[in-house]
Chain A
């Protein structure tokens, strides 16, 4: 595609972000306010997540006493990311001071995000941040931030610990997929139009509830207000 093509310009509208080339730190900076996913799995085996001891008898999806920093090593393609301790983060990024900064920034970002989501009736169960270093050594938050793809969003109204929670954005498509004769390996099935539209509506609802802004206005005026 070429940059001057009208169809290309229309396609790109609203989906571009300019970033900076940085040295990407090879650590997924995960913060969990609730216990789920790989955190739950590790907790059930060891009573800890990433070396952080947790109270006994936590149920799936329980709120944690306080949000915790549970980093993961970014495994090469084809391998699963691996939960690691803060000491291991320090080894990977080259220093305890930087590791502590990653933890503190991640926890502060989560606290901000969780508070905004809570006002929108959405639980930010956990989320993953990425950081990079500029050539001059400045630490930057990069990549995507607190999106449905990097986070678990739950509907606060439907929240019930003791079981898995429905994903605010993806549950619609997951429920449909579960009902298909499909082995969950590539290629996946084509989605019917009503499943596409239902899933789209959930994504737009997440955008509008969290930002308090109109999605239509974001598309036409390029503002989030």
Chain B
């Protein structure tokens, strides 16, 4: 399936795609917003930093509250 067909919407920084009926794929772009304006020049790897940090925190906080990476919801997510 072409990714473009599953496209749902673009946020300021992240793009959202539908996966099946009940899942979402979030793709973090390298777009940077400063003074509430999205700048025309991307910051290389910024989207990867944001994604990696979110995954790190999801893995470390599932004892506080469930998230899409929680053990109860099988998913390929990093665990420490």
Q: Which chain A residue lies CB-closest to B16?
A: A19
Taking residues whose C-beta sits less than 8 angstroms from the other chain, chain B's interface range is 35 or more
Q: Which residues of B contact A105 (CB under 8 A)?
A: 64-65
Q: Do the beta carbons of A186 and B37 come within 8 Å of each other?
A: yes
Q: Do the beta carbons of B54 and A177 come within 8 Å of each other?
A: no
Taking residues whose C-beta sits less than 8 angstroms from the other chain, chain A's interface range is 35 or more
A198–chain B nearest beta-carbon distance, Å: 10
CB neighbors of B among A161-188 (8 A): 170, 173-174, 177, 184-188
B10 at the interface (CB under 8 A from A): no
Q: Do the beta carbons of A18 and B25 come within 8 Å of each other?
A: yes
- Interface Cβ pair total, 8 Å cutoff: 192
A46 at the interface (CB under 8 A from B): no
Q: Which chain A residue lies CB-closest to B59?
A: A224
Name the contact of A2 in the complex, choosing from B3, B38, B40, B48 (C-beta under 8 A): B3
Q: Do the beta carbons of B43 and A223 come within 8 Å of each other?
A: no
Q: How far apart are the CA atoms of A109 and B44 in the complex, in Å?
A: 29
A142–chain B nearest beta-carbon distance, Å: 7
Q: How far apart are the CA atoms of A122 and B32 in the complex, in Å?
A: 21
Q: Do the beta carbons of A146 and B53 come within 8 Å of each other?
A: yes
A interface residues, Cβ below 8 angstroms from B = 1-3, 8, 12-21, 105, 108-109, 112-113, 116, 131, 135, 138-149, 170, 173-174, 177, 184-191, 196, 199-200, 203-204, 206-207, 210-211, 213, 215, 218-219, 222-225
Seed contacts A15-B47, A146-B54, A224-B80; 14 additional CB < 8 Å A-B pairs: A2-B2, A20-B73, A112-B61, A113-B57, A116-B60, A141-B61, A141-B66, A148-B50, A188-B34, A189-B39, A203-B45, A210-B56, A213-B52, A218-B52
